[in-house]
Amino acid sequence: MVNIPKAKKERLKEKIPFIIGITGHRDAIYLDGKEDEGLLGIKKAVKSSIKYWSDKLGDNTPIWLLSGMAEGADLLAVEAAEELSFEESWLDGYLTVIPCLPMEQDAYEKDFSNSQSEGAYGLTCFRTMMEKYQEKTMVIKNGLTKEDYQIARLDDSYGSLRNSLYLNQGSFIAKYSNVLIAIWDGMEAEGVGGTGEIVLQKCGKASRWEKGTRNESLSQLSDFDGQIGGVVQHLPVARKRKSTKNKIKIEKNEEDYTSQRDSTGELSLAKFYITYKNDTLLYYQNAYSKRESKNIKIYLSIEFTELITQLTTHNEFLRSTEDNNNHVKRENIELSSAYDMFDEADMTAEYFQSKYRLGLSVFVTLFILGLFFYEFRDSLIVSTSSIVTNTVILFSIISCFTIRFWEKKRGWKNKYQQCRSVAEGMRFRGFLNMADVAPKASPLLPRRYRKKMPLVNQAINVAEFAWWRKEKLEEASKVKKFWIDNQMGFLRPRISRTFSIKGFSIKDFSINTYFYKRPGLAWTHMKNVYTWVLFIAFIAGIFALLYQLYQAFIVNPTYMNQSLDIFINLLLFITAVVALWLELANYEATTTGYENLIELYERADEIICFPLDDNSKKMLYELAREAMQEHAEWNHFEQQSNLSER
């Protein structure tokens, strides 16, 4: 039984969820091989499937269940989830049911009233469920014109326009679910948007959109990108009405295929597949074969496995800031219920950043102490014993190694970077939501970083739910004020090479501000110090060499020679300290990234029209993608400068 402490109850909304989608037949009657159990057998399989992922994720990662709420399998799965939540004593918020309707409830109910038999999971069950989950309900936006949408809503004959809404609904669930539970007979779909089609779409096969119905926000990506495909958890069932379509071929390999065991040790009939775009083949999910395998299959397997790891560790990190929690809304971005996830990730990033910076400051201080005693040990031994000098040097070395080891074990910077990346991804998506910019097939996070940062993709997907929930989001004045202007106000002092900045005075300066919030200024000063001190040391060295040659023919004044040695050592000591700090602070990459961003925002400020037209919205999406790429590159260089990697 999953036991969530009371203290976590209110914090589940701050954690990024794992998303499970449901697709299935309206007339499923029993699980294959368990005819005598009927619908109860299907329900048990659904519970086992959800429990499998719950056990894998742990009690810190909530689950969202996306259901189309159609008659039959969809409603059965929701009821199974409710029962499982009660049986496992999961607290409110651990498992959240999100109804995803193809149209408004009154129009959708025609599907139930026109059915031959309402059954246990028919109209009455639907209405009961909708009363419970009304606040969570989403009517999925579609690609139809307003006129065509009204025709589709009123269509009793299930023409192409109305059917496109079911495809739109299923495509949404397939796109946003990490795992798609398919209560499915394994046959091809009989109509547009049928279960077989949604399963294949999750597997990467393009859907059959009728002309004028395609929803570009749910479009497939290219094979090269590798985004298409995902995890399908197949619960094979029999139907009341036997399908006349062809069975979709499932490739099974004894070396790869492993049946899953449920909590009782009984072999589960659920099958797991990791898939890529192919007309017929579905591939096993849990681990790719040790033998030569398809590249996309491997790519998706690694990405999915890494997502599970990052999701569970990230949600565990958030517990560390429980005492520092502040629920005052600090930023104006449109994230709806996902705002708490963004805010907690943002605050957690600041928390671990301060931890890392403290460790870094202590490391550099001890390094300076040890290096100072090492460089000037000959001079210091005159006034102190060699034991004291060597003890200080040894203490500094041991302490620096200890801090480096501690940082590697605790991973403060890794946690900081992960939380910061999550917050930035959600921030950019929140601004796009505010501008009413629809999600695109091309993700905000560049492809080459997605395999290493799947959690960021997950966070962005969760943030996109705010756009899908709202009818109209565009607030042009807020977009300019809180996104464009605020970002430029954030960036300008950080790239400035001088103390003088509009609205900023020397009184505002502190050591923390100089070293961490003014990378452009600190980088410029330290480069100059490094260059000039090294130059002076070089000149002093030449002077010392000439002076020693001169003394070869005259009297040797040892005091003067020793003073020159100390002076040169001091200059080299300063150079070494500055070089170390420049290496660890990563000023160059940070400042360069900020300079690239300020150019983008200044250009956007000049050419984007307010109120926003379609072209301006396209440019805003490209701006967000460019900004996310700069952040991903900054993240890469920050990792290289990590103290634990030095």
| 239-252 average pLDDT score | 71
Over 50: is that where the pLDDT of 262 sits?
no
pLDDT at residue 413 in the model? 87
Mean residue pLDDT of the chain comes to: 79
**In this predicted model, which residue has the larger pLDDT, 229 or 179?**
179
Band (pLDDT 50/70/90 cuts) for residue 182 is very high
Contact between 526 and 587 (Cβ < 8 Å): yes
Q: What number of other Cβ atoms are within 10 A of residue 132's Cβ?
A: 12
How buried is 32 (Cβ within 10 angstroms: 0-12 exposed, 13-18 middle, 19+ buried)?
A: middle
pLDDT tens for 546-565 read 666 566 555 555 545 566 66
pLDDT at residue 140 in the model? 95
| 411-435 average pLDDT score | 91
DSSP one-letter code for 95: E
pLDDT at residue 279 in the model? 31
| 271-281 average pLDDT score | 42
pLDDT tens for 14-47 read 999 999 999 999 989 998 888 888 899 999 999 9
Over 70: is that where the pLDDT of 605 sits?
yes
Its sign, for the CA torsion 231, 233, 237, 240, is negative
pLDDT tens for 531-542 read 777 777 777 777
Helix/strand/coil (H, E, C) string of 511-547? Answer: HHHHHHHCHHHHHHHHHHHHHHHHHHHHHHHHHHHHH
Contact between 413 and 638 (Cβ < 8 Å): yes
- Lowest mean pLDDT of 247-256, 350-359, 511-520, name the range: 247-256
Band (pLDDT 50/70/90 cuts) for residue 7 is very low
Over 50: is that where the pLDDT of 202 sits?
yes
pLDDT at residue 85 in the model? 93
* For the ranges 165-179, 292-306, 574-588, the one whose mean pLDDT is highest: 165-179
Give the list of residues 6+ apart from residue 484 with CB closer than 8 angstroms, or none.
601, 604, 605, 608
Over 50: is that where the pLDDT of 283 sits?
no
Rounded to whole angstroms, what are the CA distances from 432 to 142, 339, 599?
A: 18, 14, 19
pLDDT at residue 467 in the model? 93
Q: 């000149």: which residue's tokens?
A: 539
**CA pair distance 322, 338, nearest whole angstrom:** 18
367-401 b/e (C-beta count within 10 Å ≥ 16 → b):
bbbbbbbbbbeeebeeeeeeeebeebbeebeebbe
What percent of the chain has pLDDT above 70?
76
Contact between 410 and 358 (Cβ < 8 Å): no
Strand 283-284 and strand 271-274: pairing? antiparallel
pLDDT tens for 426-456 read 999 999 998 889 998 888 888 778 888 999 9
Over 70: is that where the pLDDT of 545 sits?
no
Over 80: is that where the pLDDT of 97 sits?
yes
CA 471 to chain centre: 25
